[in-house]
Amino acid sequence: MCQICRRTLLAGERYRTWRWARRDQTVCVVCEPVAHKAGAVRVVDVYEYVQAGGLSQHVRRVA
Ligand SMILES: [Zn+2]
């Protein structure tokens, strides 16, 4: 789910992880300018894709 527009991302949709409020947040492509304006910092350069099928975890890079 995009943390800005609260929309559930569709399978195959691109998103990236941005950090603000000391948390890593999922942001859809549409909302990236909003996140940037809000002072968020992009965590990764590469886009991630929502996996089709299966239970999607919002943050897979917890490690
Ligand atoms: Zn969004």
Cα 61 to averaged position of ligand 1 atoms, centre (Å): 19
Q: What is the pLDDT of residues 2-28, one digit of tens each?
A: 999 999 999 999 999 999 999 999 999
Centroid of chain to Cα 17: 4
pTM of the model: 0.77
Residue bearing the bigger pLDDT, 54 or 33: 33
- CA atoms lying within 13 Å on the CB side of residue 20: 15
Cα 27 to averaged position of ligand 1 atoms, centre (Å): 5
Give the chain's domain count.
1
Q: What is the pLDDT of residues 23-46, one digit of tens each?
A: 999 999 999 999 999 999 999 899
Cα 44 to averaged position of ligand 1 atoms, centre (Å): 17
Cα 34 to averaged position of ligand 1 atoms, centre (Å): 9
Domain of residue 52 covers 1-63
